[in-house]
Structure 1
Amino acid sequence: MTFRSTPEDLALHGVRVLGFPTASRVAARYRLAVDTVTEALLDFEARGWVRNLTFVDSSGWSLSDAGRIENERRLAEELDRAGVRDAVVRAHAEFVPLNRRFGVACTDWQVRPTRLDPMAFNDHTDWRWDERVLKTLTSVEASFRQLCAGLADRLARFDGYADRYSTALRKVNMGQRAWVDAHDRDSCHILWIQFHEDLLATLGIPRGSDM
């Protein structure tokens, strides 16, 4: 049976995975009531685990160091209660080579070396270069979907990543190329980063140590 996280745990975890989200964004991601998420975040704020910040015209929640520790403690308890630690470890091992392929593709989408500048910005005028990148983004879709499905069968909070990736990729293939890596939407790159962060947090692995 799929293990379902408590709304409180999802509220705290959502702040980490989504990165500076509003309560409504966390609620939408995990299909929770906004009031439930807001109440949990206010309680966590009183405990020093999260803080609400405002920058110019945007505001959102972020984890404190204590909040990251608490988040990982709760996720570790989940793994033990659900009895799925080994399965998640295996999923992470399968993800690592897939992540390398995806990472190279995203770098190539942003950078196209020239004879004079190995870090030249990709101006997307080279159709063949960009098509090679898009083929990679498409080629990892099936493996990513299978990986997500296996995880979602064990931990319900992993559900949704594959469908959102496929939706973004479909928009890319329709010519809306901003859906490759734009930061203001659920682009392919943003979803991939969120999934990776979810895995790292779940297993307590420091970012950058699994490259």
Structure 2
Amino acid sequence: MPAHASPPDLLTLHALRLLGFADGAKAAVRFGLDGDTVGELLMDFEAYGWVTRVEFAGSGGWTLTASGLAENERQLAAELAACGASGQVVRVHAAFLPLNLRFQETMTRWQLRPVRGDPMALNDHTDFRWDDRVLDSLGSAARRLAPLVADLSAVLSRFDGYAERFNAALSRVERGERQWVDAVGVDSCHVVWFQLHEDLLASLGIDRGQEE
């Protein structure tokens, strides 16, 4: 059975959930949607009170309102029920949780390198052996992530691409572009991982602070 393909209205609203803040073009790119279609949907969503246009750091874009967040969660729950994907997503989320703990530890080791007298010292990235061990952990995360994403994509096509995006970021890191570990504003390893985590939580209706 082919994976369920989510409709453009769900994907447009969900793109804003995952991105947090985005203009219409970026929201369209997130799921490979037609830009004009997304633009029209965003205008409709504004009329419904689901999104609002804001200015941030000198640029304009869209973000979800509280009612838009609730509508996104309603749509996702209805989609899971309709296509019978709930069990698969629940199983993948359970398998993802221990990986997520290790990934968070890896990010901490990338950002901090304890020294005598200062256990919270920032990592200045001059200890190449330390950084290489962190990058080895990222490579392990990539290998473990791929089958989970494949399981998700087999039932819901909107999960396609997470493993490829993570690997693309990791490849840039390995070429010396170390900002692609955790930079914001680009598809860094951390950004891609965070979005997948958010996607799982949103799909299952779990609050991030209440996740076990």
Q: TM-score, normalised by structure 1?
A: 0.97
1:84-123 equivalences under 5 Å are 84-123=85-124
CA displacement 1:70-114 (0-9 Å, x = unmatched): 100000000011101011000000000011111100111111122
CA distance in 1, matches of 2:88, 2:65: 29
CA displacement 1:129-169 (0-9 Å, x = unmatched): 11111000001111101110110110000001110111110
The aligned residue for residue 160 of structure 2 is 159
The aligned residue for residue 202 of structure 2 is 201
The aligned residue for residue 6 of structure 2 is 5
CA displacement 1:25-63 (0-9 Å, x = unmatched): 121121111111111111111111111111241222111
The aligned residue for residue 138 of structure 2 is 137
Letter in 2 for 1:168: A
Is 1:33 aligned to residue 17 of structure 2?
no
Is the 1:96–1:210 contact (alpha carbons within 8 Å) kept by the matching residues of 2?
no
Which secondary structure state, in structure 1, belongs to the residue aligned with residue 11 of structure 2? Answer: helix
Aligned residues: 211
Which secondary structure state, in structure 1, belongs to the residue aligned with residue 6 of structure 2? Answer: coil
Deviates more, 1:168-177 or 1:110-119: 110-119
CA distance in 2, matches of 1:208, 1:179: 26
Report deviation, 1:126.
Answer: 1.1
CA distance in 2, matches of 1:2, 1:59: 34
Which secondary structure state, in structure 1, belongs to the residue aligned with residue 195 of structure 2? Answer: helix
Identity of aligned residues (%): 52
Q: TM-score, normalised by structure 2?
A: 0.97
Which secondary structure state, in structure 2, belongs to the residue aligned with residue 61 of structure 1? Answer: strand
Is 1:126 aligned to residue 127 of structure 2?
yes
CA displacement 1:150-197 (0-9 Å, x = unmatched): 101100000011101111101111111011011021000000000000
The aligned residue for residue 73 of structure 1 is 74
The aligned residue for residue 18 of structure 2 is 17
Which secondary structure state, in structure 1, belongs to the residue aligned with residue 54 of structure 2? Answer: strand
Q: Mind listing any 5+ residue stretches in structure 1 that lack a counterpart?
A: none
CA distance in 2, matches of 1:107, 1:209: 21
Q: Mind listing any 5+ residue stretches in structure 2 that lack a counterpart?
A: none
Letter in 1 for 2:187: D
Deviates more, 1:132-141 or 1:109-118: 109-118
CA distance in 2, matches of 1:22, 1:120: 37
Is the 1:172–1:179 contact (alpha carbons within 8 Å) kept by the matching residues of 2?
yes
Report deviation, 1:115.
Answer: 1.8
